[in-house]
């Protein structure tokens, strides 16, 4: 069971709904990354603009942005409505993989 509702959603009467204000933040994060911004640059921008995280924190970190970018719930599922188009989500995933490989941060299991 998930501990919190992802940024951009709210729950009313037991159903997840898109929160118009925060969904714009999520969409802006995806667009910025798709346009070439790094997770760190996006985090610094969100912090500078005073935008709050899902936990109402005033400071963003690159890992928070990364978690949003990898969250498949934004594609919609049985509970969450669709917020991000599949094509944008896939472009972002491909770019994240390419950047990770370029930086030597690919997820490979450790060999014994």
| pLDDT for the residue numbered 106 | 65
What span, in angstroms and rounded, lies between the C-alpha atoms of 40 and 27?
Answer: 17
Domains of the chain: total: 1
46 in a structural domain: yes
| pLDDT for the residue numbered 1 | 38
Nearest to 60 by CA among 76, 45, 75, 43: 43
102 in a structural domain: no
Q: Residue 52: which domain range?
A: 9-91
Query: pTM for the complete prediction?
Result: 0.88
Average pLDDT taken over every residue of the chain: 91
| pLDDT: which is higher, 99 or 23 | 23
20 in a structural domain: yes
109 in a structural domain: no
38 in a structural domain: yes
Residue written as tokens 């498949």?
Answer: 72
pLDDT at 59 over 60: yes
| pLDDT: which is higher, 99 or 8 | 8
What span, in angstroms and rounded, lies between the C-alpha atoms of 58 and 14?
Answer: 28
pLDDT interval class at 112 (50, 70, 90): very low
What span, in angstroms and rounded, lies between the C-alpha atoms of 53 and 22?
Answer: 9
22 in a structural domain: yes
pLDDT interval class at 4 (50, 70, 90): confident
40 in a structural domain: yes
97 in a structural domain: no
């Amino acid at each position: 069971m998930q501990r919190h509702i992802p940024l951009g959603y709210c729950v009313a009467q037991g159903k997840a709904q898109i929160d118009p204000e925060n969904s714009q933040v999520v969409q802006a994060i995806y667009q910025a990354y798709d346009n070439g911004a790094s997770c760190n640059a996006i985090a610094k921008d969100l912090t500078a603009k005073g935008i709050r995280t899902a936990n109402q924190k005033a400071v963003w970190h690159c890992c928070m942005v990364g978690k949003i970018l990898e969250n498949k719930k934004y594609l919609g599922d049985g509970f969450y409505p669709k917020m991000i188009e599949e094509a944008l989500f896939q472009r972002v995933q491909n770019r994240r993989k390419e950047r990770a490989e370029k930086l030597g941060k690919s997820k490979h299991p450790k060999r014994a």
